[in-house]
Structure 1
C-alpha cells in the first residue's frame, strides 16, 4: 500500500465535515483515545485494571508513577510515558487476569465515553479498524464484542510463562510512525482504508495512508453517545470501582481506603450483633441510609396460616437483610450459594437450596407452611445495570402469597457485588462507601387472579412480577440468565457450542 501525500494540519477537515452516508462498502481506520473516545487520557483505564488485578497497592503504585509518565509523555516521548503506565499496571500480573478484567470491567467505562461524531462515521462503514497506543489486550474485547470492529491494532505486551513482564513486545508502543507501519502491514494485500480519523499530529502518519482524512478537534463539552444508540447494550460488568478514576479520584480512593476499611468493619460488627427489630435504626446511625416506599403486609405468624414470599430484585447479598430490617422481623432468606462468612455474620435465618427443583420446592414449601416470611431473589445473581435478569418461576408454583419488592442501591466509590472476585468481601466493600443508600419499594401483593390458582402458568406469574418490578425501577426486563452472565463476563458472549444463548434484551411477555 503506497503512502499518500501529506496535507497541512490546518487544511484537514474536522470529523463534523465527514459525510457518513453511503459508506457501507468502505473501510475506516480510526485512533482510539481522543478520537473514538472523548477522553484523551489513558490513566483512568489503566487505573481500573490496576485496582482490579492488584488492589489498592497496585493502584497506589500506578498513581505514584503517574507524574513521571506525564513528564515523559510531554517532554520526552509519548511512548516513554505509556511504558511507565504499562509497567506499573501489568508487571507480575497473570495475562489471564488482565484479559478477564478487559472483558468484564472496561467495556462499561469505554461505552460511556464514545465520541458521538466519530461513532456516527465509524458505525456507517462496512469494515472498521481501530489503532491505539493502549495495549491491545485491554481494548480488543470492547471494540470487537460491542462495537463490531473488525481489526484492532494496538500495543503488544510481553509475557513469560503467562505472566506479564511489564515491558512491550517487539514493535514497542504503537504511536506515530509505528501506527502507520502497522496499518500498512495489515492492508498490504488490500486497498487502503477510505477514511482515516485521528486527533493529533501523532496520527497524521497513518491518516496519510487513507484516501480521506479527518481530525477530531479537542473540545471541553462533548456529550458521549447514549447507551441506547449502541449496537449492543453493556448489561454485565465487574470490578469494584464505581467511577472511572482520574488521578484525583484515584488519590481520594487511596486516602479513603483505610478509613473505609475501619468504617466497614464497624458497620458489619454492629449490624451482625444487632437484633433485627433495631437494625433499621442502628445501621442508619452509621451513615447507611434506607429509603422505603410502599407498605409491607403484617407478620404472617400473627395473621396468616402460611408465610409471605417477598420476591425481590437482586443488587447485593444483603438484600434479604435490609428487607427484613424494614419489616422489623426475622425472615428466612433462601439462596443457592453464599459465603460461609456472610452466612455467619447474617442476623437472619439462611437456607441453602440444592439446585434440584423437587427438593428446593419442598424446602420452600415447608418454610412457608411454618409461617416464616420468605425473601427470595429469583434473578439468581446480581446485575449492576438498569436491567432485570430472567426470573425463576419456582416461587409461583408454591404460594399465592406473593409481594414483589423493588430494590436498588446507590454507592459512590465501591460496588458491593462481584462475579469474579472474592464474594465474601461484598458486604465489606458495600459498607466501605461513605454514605451508601438502600432503596426498597414494596409493591401490592398479587391479587388472586394474578397467581397460579387462577390458572396462570408459573412462567406467566414470574414474568408479571419481573415486569412490575422493572416498571417501578425503570429497568428493562431481559431473557438473560445467570449462566449467560458468567459466559459473557468470561468473554464468550453467551455462546454455547457456537450457538447463541438466551442473550436478547427484549421485554418478556
Structure 2
C-alpha cells in the first residue's frame, strides 16, 4: 500500500468527496482529537493513546499502549470493503507512528504527515469547513503555543486587576463615568450610526417602555445596551447564576419557563419601562444566530432590534459549566482590549402582515423577521439550532440547571 506525505487538512477535505472511510492515527491524544476529527472533519475513526482519567478528571498522562482494534473498526472496514461500498479506506498518520503497519494492512492508501508539511499548514477558511462550527467551549481564544502561554501568565496578574477594576467601575459608578473610565483601560464600546431609539419612540407615540431585542454574545449584552442608552433598563433572565444577578448593575427579572406567567411578567415590566431580551436563550460565539423564541413578539406591536458583536483577544466570556458561569463577565473583562459593537436598527413591526393569521403562528413569523434583520446587519448566518442543541453537544444535558434562572 502507498505511503505518501501530505497536508492533513487538505487530505481530509479532498478525500471526503470520493472515499467512504477515513482513519486517523498517531501519537496524539485520542479523546480530545476524536470528537473534532469525527464530528467536523469527517474522519470515521481515530486511533491513539487514551488520556488517563482519575475520578472523572484528566491528569495529563497517557496510557502506555494503543488498542489497535478499539471499537471493532477494522472488522467494519473489511465488511464494507467486501460489500463494495466506496473506494476503500484511507489512513492518515504522522511520521514515526506505529499506525503505518496497521493502516498498510487494511487501508487502500496511507498518507504520512511530516514536519515539512506541517510548516506549510494554514487555517482553513470558515466557508471551507466540511461542517459549520457553531458551538464550542473552553476559555482560551488563542492558539496555546509555549510563547503564547508565557505571555498569558505574564499578563494574568495585570489582567485580574483590570477585570476587578472594570467590574467595580460598572457596578458602582454611573455610566457617564464608568464608560470613559473603562475605555481608558482598553475596554471599548463602539456605537454604529443608526436611528435614535428615543426618536423612533416619540414618532411611534406608544405608551410604556420600549422592547429591545438583541442577539446574545455574552452576559454583558443588556448592560452594554443600558450603558449605550445611558438610562435604566431591565433584562429578563433565566439560567443565569445568582452571583451574576447579584452583581449586575441593572435590574434583572427571572422568568419561570411557564409561557403564560412569563408573558404576564414581561408585559408588567414593559409597562413600567424599557426592557431588553435575548430570544436566542443562550450565547453563541461564532457568526451564527440561533432560533429565536417568539414570546417577545406577543408583547408589543413594535420592537427595536439591537445588533451586538464582540471582540476579544485572550479569553472567551462564555461557558456551559454551571459552576463556572458566574465567572463569564469576569473572563470577558480579563481581556486586554475587549470590545463591543452596538447598532440600533430600525424598529420592526410584530403585527400580522397582510394575509397572515393571528395567534402563536404570527409571533413565530415575527420572530423570524427580527432574526433575519439582525442576521443581515451582522452578516451572521441564520440557524435552527437552540439552547437545547448547544448544551446537549457541549455539556451532555439540556441546559436546565437547578438553582439558576436563560437570558
- Pair 1:343-2:234 in alignment: no
Match of 1:354 among 237, 249, 256: 256
| Alpha-carbon distance in 1 for matches of 2:121, 2:58 | 36
Given that 1:196 and 1:206 are in contact with CA atoms closer than 8 Å, whether structure 2 keeps it comes out as: no
Q: 1:385 maps to which residue?
A: 286
Preserved contact between residue 133 and residue 173 of structure 1 (Cα < 8 Å): no
Report the counterpart of residue 489 of structure 1 in structure 2. Answer: 394
Alpha-carbon deviation of 1:188? 7.0
- Given the alignment of the two structures, is residue 283 of structure 1 paired with residue 182 of structure 2, yes or no? yes
Q: Deviations over 1:479-503 (max 9, x none)?
A: 11111111111358x9xxxxxxxxx
Cα distance change of structure 1 residues 246 and 173 upon mapping to structure 2, 3 Å threshold = farther
CA contact (8 A) 1:157 1:166 kept: yes
Residues of 1 paired with 2:285 and 2:58: CA distance? 30
1:200 maps to 2:101: no
What does residue 150 of structure 2 align with?
251
- Residue 324 of structure 1 aligns to a residue whose secondary structure is helix
Aligned CA distance change for structure 1 residues 248 and 167 (closer, same or farther; 3 Å): closer
When residues 167 and 318 of structure 1 are mapped into structure 2, their CA distance, relative to the original with a 3 A threshold, is: closer
- CA–CA distance in structure 2, aligned partners of residues 479 and 148 of structure 1: 22
Aligned twin of 1:458:
363
**Equivalent in the alignment of 2:125:** 226
Asked if structure 2 preserves the Cα contact closer than 8 Å seen for 1:400 and 1:451, the reply is: yes
Aligned residues of 1:276 and 1:347 also touching (Cα < 8 A): no
Paired residue for 1:116, among 2, 6, 10? 10
Normalized per residue, the structure richer in strand is 2
RMSD: 3.0
CA displacement at 1:123 relative to structure 2: 5.0
Which residue of 326, 331, 338 maps to 1:429? 331
3-state SS of paired residue (2:225): helix
Distance 2:275 2:343 in 1: 16
Alignment partner, residue 498 of structure 1: none
Unmatched 5+ residue regions in structure 2?
A: 82-87, 399-407
Q: Aligned with 1:422: secondary structure? A: helix
Offset of 1:132 from its aligned partner? 2.5
The gaps in structure 1 that reach 5 residues or longer are 16-34, 37-114, 495-509
Contact 1:278 1:325 in 2 (8 A): no
Aligned residues: 376
Q: Pairwise mapping of residues 62-141 of structure 1 onto structure 2 (< 5 A)?
A: 115-122=9-16, 124-141=18-35
Q: Secondary structure of 1:317's partner?
A: coil
C-alpha spacing 1:328/1:124, structure 2 compared with 1 (3 Å): same
Q: Which residue of 2 aligns with 1:305?
A: 207
Matched with 2:139 is: 240
How far apart, in 2, do the equivalents of 1:401 and 1:352 lie? 23
Match of 2:309 among 408, 411, 416: 408
319-328 or 277-286, larger mean C-alpha shift: 277-286
Cα distance between partner residues in 2 of 1:126 and 1:413: 39
Higher relative contact order (CA 8 A, sep 6+): 2
